[in-house]
Structures are given as structure tokens and as C-alpha cells.
Amino acid sequence: MTNDTMQGFMFDDMDIRGVHLRLDQGVKTLLDQQDYPPCVASLLAEMLIVACLLSANLKLRGRLSVQIRGAGPLKWVMAECRQLSDDLEQPFRVKGMAQVDGTVSPDASLIEMVADGRLIITIEPDQGQRYQGIVMVDQATLAECIESYFYQSEQLPTHIQLVSTGEGAAGFMLQRLPQTEANESQSDLDWELVHALAATLSQHELAHLPADQVLHRLFHEQQVKVFSPKPVLQQCDCSRERCGAAIIGLGKTAVDEILDEQEAIIIDCHFCNGHYAFDKVDCYVLLEQDAMPTTADPALH
Ligand SMILES: [Zn+2]
């Protein structure tokens, strides 16, 4: 079983909440499947952390993805965290991938890797409206880009610290809750204090200390309420069924055209290297099933 866990917390008498996450096994499993340059692997690991921290902080039921698209050698990097309503007892699940086109120098900065990049955060709740926010990647680190995103999009002061060691990754986030006028000046002071304490956490401490020690180290003089820790699992959600649905979505004409030229339709999952092959018989069975009238609709009886 994994030790990768997310730990949410709140301050008793301040409008500030936070999340801590370690992701060692999950990051290792994901990176072992691919052969990314070290700085790309490190960015991808941090993006997995960010997707989880934001999901947890929003108490989201659904999917949240963080992606960066750019014009540099790193074309696209994406991480997704999902926690679906029908399996709330289950761990958070993450997946991620990067698409490199060209040479990324081993010590390239974020801006050199993604050149003219955009950071896109997409929230897809199980119920309710899909939301997407975009900011330029114009800061030196991913953490600063995320803070800038929150400042621009929601004006919510946010502190986020990320670390990736090659063996794993960790992250720590604090966010001020929306304010009412009545409590604003006290909240300003609370935020200044908590933010100043959080800023004393070193990268080495974040990389190596478990959540309870991080919280004790920073906030032993404050009243902090911690929630139940929640496991996080690196797991792709591709399946033969989902690939089949994609083939049905192409429609019979397009499927015929492809199968005139090749023996089978092959779908490779770029997240986990999953490989799905549908030969002519498979494809026609899918299309026929889809074309059959449904008899399950009770309104017809
Ligand atoms: Zn997959």
C-alpha cells in the first residue's frame, strides 16, 4: 500500500486552510513508465502535486487538470487528479504525461522549457459547470505561476511551495478564505503571520518531513485542526471500454476508411503506455451494438 497521502487542515480561529501532500510511490511509478529529461520529470511531478492540492482544497468531486502548453521543446505537460462522487471512499487518483519535441537541456528553466507558455487549469465537477482558467507562464517556478493564477483569477491570497527530488515530490499550500468586510483587518494580520511562518519551511524540510512534522514545525503555537489523511494513487483511467466509445464516436464512415488502409485501429494511451487494438471484427461488433435500438427505456413499455 502506498504512503502517498494528502493531509488537509484548518486553523481554529483564522479563515485560512491548507493542504500538505507527499507523493513518492506515485511519482516513481509514473516516471518509471516514461523516459523524460530530468527537468521535465521534475515539473511533471510538481504538476501532479498541484492538481491534488487544488482538488483537495476545493473539495472537488470530479476531475481537475493542470496543463502547460508552450512553444518550447516541452510542448505539453498535464496532470489530472480525480475524485468521483461514486467512489468517495476511494483514494484520489492521479495521472500525468509530458510531450517533448526537441532537446530540453538538463538544467533548463521553466520558461526556457515551455517558451511563451500558458498554464491552464480545468475543473470538471461531476455535477455543475465546467470551468477553465488560463494565465501566462511568466514566473520562474510553477509555484509562483499558481500563486499568480489565484491572484489574477480569484484574488485569493495563496501560498504554495513545491519540491521534487527525483525520487518523489511534495507540496504545501495555504489559502485564505473569501473575506467579509467585518473581519478583513484581523484576517489580514492572521494571513501575514501564517504566511510568514510558512515561508520559513525549507525545501529540504518539505522534501523529507511527514505532514504532522511540517505542521508542528510551522504552527505549534497556533490551533490547527487536521482532517483525516487521504491516500493518493497514481492510476490511469484508460480502458478498452473507453477506447471502444471513442471508436463509436468516429462513426462508421471514418472507421471504414481507416480499416481500408490498415488491419486494425490501434489506440495507445500516452499516460500509461496502455495499448488497445481493435480489428475489423471488434470494430463492427462495436458499431453494430451502438446501432441496435435500446429496449431499456421504461417509457417504451
Ligand atoms: Zn492509460
- Ligand 1 centroid to residue 46 C-alpha, Å: 20
Higher pLDDT: 58 or 183? It is 58
- Ligand 1 centroid to residue 160 C-alpha, Å: 29
Q: What are the chain's domains? A: 5-234 (3.55.30.10), 240-293 (3.90.1280.10)
Q: What is the mean pLDDT of residues 260-285?
A: 92
What pLDDT score was predicted for residue 294? Answer: 60
What pLDDT score was predicted for residue 300? Answer: 45
C-alpha cell at 247: 471508436
- Reported as a single tens digit per residue, the pLDDT across 13-48 is 899 999 999 999 888 888 888 889 999 999 999 999
The torsion angles phi and psi of 23, rounded to 5 degrees, stand at: -140, 95
What pLDDT score was predicted for residue 290? Answer: 81
What pLDDT score was predicted for residue 2? Answer: 62
What pLDDT score was predicted for residue 166? Answer: 79
Q: How far is CA 179 from the centre of its chain?
A: 27
C-alpha cell at 2: 502506498
- Ligand 1 centroid to residue 246 C-alpha, Å: 14
The torsion angles phi and psi of 57, rounded to 5 degrees, stand at: -65, -35
- Ligand 1 centroid to residue 165 C-alpha, Å: 25
Higher pLDDT: 289 or 88? It is 289
Q: Which residues surround ligand 1, an ion (CB under 5 A)?
A: 236, 238, 269, 271-272, 274
What pLDDT score was predicted for residue 186? Answer: 84
- Ligand 1 centroid to residue 96 C-alpha, Å: 10
- Ligand 1 centroid to residue 235 C-alpha, Å: 8
C-alpha cell at 26: 506515485
- Ligand 1 centroid to residue 269 C-alpha, Å: 5
C-alpha cell at 280: 475489423
Instruction: Evaluate if residue 297 carries a pLDDT over 60.
Output: no
Of the pLDDT bands very low, low, confident and very high (cuts 50, 70, 90), residue 210 is very high
| Residue in the structure block whose three cell numbers are 480569484 | 154
Instruction: Evaluate if residue 155 carries a pLDDT over 90.
Output: no
Q: What is the sign, positive or negative, of the torsion defined by CA atoms of 244, 128, 44, 211?
A: negative
Q: Kindly report the average pLDDT of the chain as a whole number.
A: 90
